[in-house]
Amino acid sequence: MDLILASASPRRRELLDQIGVRYRCEPADIDETPRDREKPGDYVLRMAAEKAAAVAGRHRDEGLAVLAADTSVVIDEDVLGKPADRFAGLGMLARLSGRSHSVLTAVCLHGPDGISECELVATRVEFVQLSREMCEAYLATDEPWDKAGGYAIQGLAGAFVSSIEGSYSNVVGLPLAETWRMLSARGIAGALGG
C-alpha cells in the first residue's frame, strides 16, 4: 500500500525516514484557524483529521493511505503557534522560560477504505530560566521561525529543556511509537516490520 505524508515538514519526513517508512509528501494546505473556545487537544485532532481527509480526497479510489499530524505548544491552555516576528518570538520564549508546558501532537491515518484512526499524544516539557540575551541570540538564528512555540528541541533550543516527560519525537513533530503502531496495523511497517 502506498503512503502519502500530508505534510511539508522536514522534521516529520526525517522521523518517518528514521523508522524506514516509504512515502511521498503532499501538503494539505488547509485553513488552520482555531475555532472560538476550541480546546487545544480538540484543535490538533481536528487539524490532523482535516489534513488527512483533504489529501485523501484528492486520491479517491487509488488505494492510498494518508498520514497527517498537527503539533501545538500549549501553556496556560493557550496554543502557541509559529512566531510571526521577533516580538512574537520573544513573547513566546518569555512565557516558556522557567516553566513547564505541553506539546500536543495529533496523528491521523486515513486508510484506503475511508476509515481514519487518530491519536493524541502529550509530552510535558520544562524550560530553564531564559535570559533576554539567550532569547535574542536564539531568535537571531533561523531555527525558531517555522516551529510551534518558537523553538526546536532537536536544535539549539535543546539547551533550554531541563526535563521532559513523554515522547521526545512527539515534541519534534511526530510521535514515533504511536505512528509506527498505526502504520504497522495497516501493513505499512517500514524497516521495523510489524
User: Distance between CA 112 and CA 56 in Å, rounded?
Assistant: 8
Determine the Cα angle at 106 with ends 175 and 25, to 5°: 75
Assigned C-alpha cell, 12: 516529520
User: Distance between CA 11 and CA 162 in Å, rounded?
Assistant: 22
Options 29, 31, 61, 70, the catalytic residue: 70
Outline where 21-143 has alpha helix (H).
40-57, 86-96, 132-139
Assigned C-alpha cell, 176: 514515533
User: Distance between CA 105 and CA 44 in Å, rounded?
Assistant: 7
- Alpha-carbon distance values, 81 to 21, 99, 102 (Å): 28, 18, 13
Reply yes or no on whether 78 is catalytic.
no
Enumerate the active-site residues: 70
